Structure formats: structure tokens, C-alpha cells
Amino acid sequence: MKSPETPPPGGMLLLNKPPGRTSFQALGQVKKALGTKKVGHTGTLDKFASGLLIALAGKATKLVPRFEAFDKTYIGEITFGKETDTLDPEGSIIAEAPLPGLAALEASLAEFRGEILQKPPAYSALHINGKRAYELARSGEAPEMKARPVSIYSLELLSYQEEDGRVRSAVIRAEVSKGTYIRSLARDIALAAGSRGYLSALTRIKIGDYKLEDALDLETADNQAIIDALNTI
């Protein structure tokens, strides 16, 4: 007769996910350390992205929907002149355009502050007719991505790099509502500035009141560090 499993520890972990690792892989590291499969996250970060990932373990997983509703803050880099199918550095180039001027870029940012309608990326985990959008896109189909309302509470230009008097890349800081795709925001900013663009780097620095500076670095953490960092809820 199989003995009952020890109830998994319940609590919350603030994690700093490194780029090059999926959110699923990051959770795998946590599951192994805690000795349980009952671990969920409260908002996926793309593989190329880094930053704050909140993991909930044990009984705390029931709080996932509440945490998913929190506003989020990101710092992202937009590379102009080219657009990829995935809207990130891992995709294939599908369009090219001249680089924007600084004035055009600054004017385009103003268009996206407040409540807007945003079309999610085709390469996303949204369900369309029972399938993930990215599954349809990878199979050669063009999923219909309907625009939906999101809120951009703040959008700042932090820095930019020029090439022959035009903007080659720009770093932005965005505080946004649940459901906002920064990849889509990068695409739309570039289009509004008369160019094309994709999100070349992304770091999530805040979820609700939780900050990246308080997170455990998964790149250097061992199992004991993960166990010690678990906060009981």
C-alpha cells in the first residue's frame, strides 16, 4: 500500500528568472527544491525575458488568480527598423522600414498612455478555437487576434541609441494592467512612429507591490536557498 505523500509546503517565492530559461523551467527548479509538483506562477515571462516571477506553492496556489490580476511594471528595449513574427529576438524578420526620428518616437509614446485597445501577438498562449495561438502560428495558420482593452498607466522613454540621426533602439519603462503584452506595445509604438520594431529585451521589475530587488536569483540559487526563501502565506 502506497504511503500518503507529505503535504507540500505552502507559500510564496519571489524569483528572478534569468533570460534563456522558460517560466516552466524556472518552476521546475522550484518543484525539485520543495519536493512537490504543486507549484504555480502568476504570470508567464517569455524565454528571452528576465525579471520577477512570483511562484505559489501548496495551498497558496489557490491565490494564483488574485496575483495574476496585479498591475505589472517592465523595462524593455525596442529595436527599430525590423519586425519579427514573434515580436521578439527569437523570431524571423517579416518586415523592414526606415528608422524613426526621435520626435516621431516621442509622439508615438503619447498615443499609448491610458486605456487602449491592443492586439495580442500571434505567438502567444491565448486560446483560439480550442488551440493555443502559437500552435496555430507555428503550423502556418494566421490566427485572428482580436484587440482587447488594456491600460498603460505610465510609459517613459529612458534612453535611446542613434544611427545617422535616427533612433536605432530605445529603452522604455511601462506600468501596465493585466493582459498587456509588451511585445505588442513595442510593435505598435514602432508602427506609430513610422517604422517597424520588435522587443529585443525585457525585464519585469514589479508585480503589484512586489519588487524584483527582493527576489531570489534563480541562476545562482541552490535547493536550500529556494527552501529558505519560501514565505508562508
Express each pLDDT in 7-44 by its tens digit: 556 899 999 999 999 999 999 999 999 998 899 888 88
- For residue range 76-100, list pLDDT tens digits in order: 999 999 999 999 999 999 999 999 9
Q: Identify the DSSP state of 144.
A: -
Measure Cα distances from 29 to 26, 56, 170, 171 in Å: 5, 13, 33, 31
Share of the chain above pLDDT 70, in %: 86
Q: Identify the DSSP state of 25.
A: H
Residue 228 known to be catalytic: no
Residue ranges in 58-201 assigned as alpha helix (H): 64-68, 102-110, 133-138, 182-192
> Which domains, ranges and CATH numbers included, belong to the chain?
11-69+209-229 (3.30.2350.10), 72-207 (3.30.2350.10)
Tell me the pLDDT of the chain averaged across its residues: 90
User: How many whole angstroms separate alpha carbon 49 and alpha carbon 62?
Assistant: 26
Q: What is the pTM of this model?
A: 0.90
Coil, strand, or helix at residue 58?
helix
User: How many whole angstroms separate alpha carbon 70 and alpha carbon 30?
Assistant: 22
Query: Which triple of cell numbers denotes residue 70?
Result: 496585479
* Burial of residue 230, with CB atoms counted within 10 A of its CB: 0-12 exposed, 13-18 middle, 19 or more buried: buried
Beta-strand pair 148-163/82-84:
unpaired
Q: Identify the DSSP state of 90.
A: T
Given a cut of 90, whether residue 226 has pLDDT beyond it is yes
6 pLDDT tier (thresholds 50, 70, 90): low
